[in-house]
Amino acid sequence: MPSQFMWQSWHMLLISVSRKLPAVSCHIAESTSTCSLLPYDSQKEVILQKLKDYVPGNPDIKSIRVFLHGPVGAGKSSLINFINSVFQGHITSIALADSAIYQTHKIEKGKHGIYYPIVFNDVMGLEESSGKGVHKDDIINALKGHVKEGHKFNPMSPLSEKDHGYIKIPSSEDRVHCLVSVMPADKMAFLGKHVIQKMRDIRLAAFALAGIPQMVVLTRVDEACPSVRKDVKNIYLSKYIKEKMEQCSAKLGVPVNCILPVKNYHEEIDLNEDMDVLLLRALRQMVDFADDFIKNIPLKITPQGN
């Protein structure tokens, strides 16, 4: 399990600030002058540079693998696009291909086929009814590293050892090093109990797999709270978002300090520093968690996946 999270202090700040300052109601926008006290400006470049300079803490692993899962339409693909956009310095669109296909998304470093050592996988969303959306067991297969690049998921039946798309003995690079549950703040209350149960089961499976670290990204915060839509910095003051984080913690069984709110690019055409800082803080936690994990990862796992 990851122990010391160097960069977690921001999140504690977020929580303490939201506790100390007058809450911004979702419907009544109050003064936001206190926002200027927050360490917002100039953080983007500092965090981004640290992420760009990141080198995996285990020399046997070239890239850390972050896996995103969550309900349909939660914002998983948008999150990967967002990460790529911030690294490239302009809005990009990389994760729009068929999400039924297992595909690794890489972030290009320059224009010479060189990539940053952080890769992402995003699959189609979880659905309430069985036979629709990605099968829970296929996400568990992916966590163990059993899913081949390009495999097309079948919602009716998960990948089995006999299938062509199955990697019998995954390498430590095939495995997932950080599991990210993507939860849409505005739709969370309407998610069916089966979707929540699948998300909890996946979390438990990840924990059982040598303690794959996990966190939650709370997306669509602007759709959930009008004051955040008006100004993303209001996220620090919104009582409503704080409540959503607490509800999310109760639903998924994840501590509040592992839930990071993000507003994905949706209709913007230019990068926005306030949105980028939120995203980069979430990404920093993913990288910290994954890096702690790979330092202790067993080199190979058995065909049984242990």
Give the interface with ligand GTP as residue ranges (CB under 6 A).
72-78, 99, 124-125, 219-220, 222-223, 263-264, 266
Output the smallest distance, CB 77 to Mg ion, in A: 3
Q: Are strands 214-219 and 178-184 parallel, antiparallel or unpaired?
A: parallel
3-state secondary structure of 16: helix
Q: Quick one: residue 14, left, alpha or beta (phi over 0 = left, psi -120 to 50 = alpha)?
A: alpha
Q: Pick out residues in 43-82 that bind Mg ion (CB under 5 A).
A: 76-77
Return the exposure string of 136-170: e unless at least 16 CB atoms fall within 10 Å of the residue's CB, then b. bbbbbbbbbbbbeeebebebeebbeeeeebbbeeb
Residue nearest to Mg ion (CB): 77
The single-letter DSSP state of residue 23 is P
- Picked from Mg ion, ligand GTP, none, the partner binding residue 264 (CB below 5 to 8 A depending on kind) is ligand GTP
Q: Which of 32, 58, 88, 99 binds Mg ion (CB under 5 A)?
A: 99
Return the exposure string of 247-261: e unless at least 16 CB atoms fall within 10 Å of the residue's CB, then b. bbbebbebebbbbbb
- Closest CB to ligand GTP among 121 and 291? 121
What's the token pair of residue 11?
């999140």
What's the token pair of residue 280?
């980069």
Output the smallest distance, CB 103 to ligand GTP, in A: 12
- Closest CB to ligand GTP among 30 and 223? 223
Output the smallest distance, CB 99 to Mg ion, in A: 4
Output the smallest distance, CB 58 to ligand GTP, in A: 30
Asked whether position 34 contacts Mg ion by CB under 5 A, the answer is: no
For binding to Mg ion (CB under 5 A), which residues are involved? 76-77, 99
